[in-house]
Homo-oligomer: A and B are copies of this chain.
Amino acid sequence: MNKRLTIKDIARLSGVGKSTVSRVLNNESGVNERTRERVEAVMQEQGFSPSRSARAMRGQSDKVVAIIVTRLDSLSENLAVQTMLPVFYAEGYDPIMMESQFSPALIAEHLRMLRSRNIDGVVIFGFSGVTPEMLQPWQPSLVLVARDASGFASVCYDDEGAMQLLLQRLYDMGHRHISFLGVPDSDITTGLRRHQAYLDFCARHQLTPHVVQPGLTMVNSYENFTRTLTPDTTAVVCGTDTMALGAGKYLHQHPELRIQLASIGYTPLIAFLHPDLVGVSLGYAEAGRKAAVQLMGQITRQAELKQIVIPATLN
């Protein structure tokens, strides 16, 4: 590892002082155009890049942000992270990743190590169990995704809107007996909110609700699918695409049942396996981008702590 060159070297090589090099580096005004060009040329040809640690020490920030996902193999979160990375890199920030595994204790531990690590900001994918108290110290430099909490910046999905979109479409298709196969209410967003939106729609349109909330896995959904069926049922809305997969398997095995399936969450897999399922997309990519931009705003420009809602779209 030959020693990297420093601004001092660049200064010497281009016959100027260190500070001038520093000014060029930071695009500061007040540098002779000729000098600037000369210095930049030298930096180019030497492939010079300033030491982050040194800059970090002088200023305050390491230019590092953390992204805490619930699980690395969560498809929806991945789609969001995918769009945040470029935003962070574009602003010169390094994103480090951590997994919370749905454990508040782990979140707390991670946040502790992040503080000692002098991180600039955090994006946290929320879940039932993260309390505002534990996030408090990070409030100014934190963006919550998929959950909201008063006083915190957040990017949320429009659960009500998504369910509304789905049901309206089914209604327009002529369905009047639509069952709900969802996640238990213990999960605020994927469970309670979607459940509630379903009930609301039914009330508004004088439909008789029929609800089953067996759990959140494919197996839960598969094994309890029959419970969603009344003699009149013509359509079933699933709370998540995972549940739709469970329901879909049942329907594949019972082709005689002519039930229209619908679900919140539309993945390539679902589209492939169940082409005529009615799905809404929650806008993960959009959410990721917005969250990253919001965090950058908070960190670099003291932007206000907005609570953003991503609109859902029918597929």
Contact residues of A with B, CB < 8 Å?
Answer: 1, 4, 47, 49, 51-54, 56-57, 60, 62, 64, 71-73, 75, 78-79, 81-82, 85, 89, 94-99, 113, 115-118, 218-219, 222, 245-246, 249, 252, 269, 272-273
Contact = CB atoms under 8 A, between A and B. Distances in A.
Nearest to A248: B273
Interface of A, secondary structure class, is helix
Contacts of A51: 57, 118
B94 A64 contact: yes
Identify the 3 closest CB pairs spanning chains A and B, nearest first: A49-B116, A53-B56, A73-B78
A40 to B, nearest CB: 15
B57 A53 contact: yes
Contacts of A246: 272
Contacts of A71: 82
A226 B81 CA distance: 38
Nearest to A253: B252
A73 B75 contact: yes
A272 B118 contact: no
Given A56-B53, A94-B117, A249-B272, A72 B62 contact: no
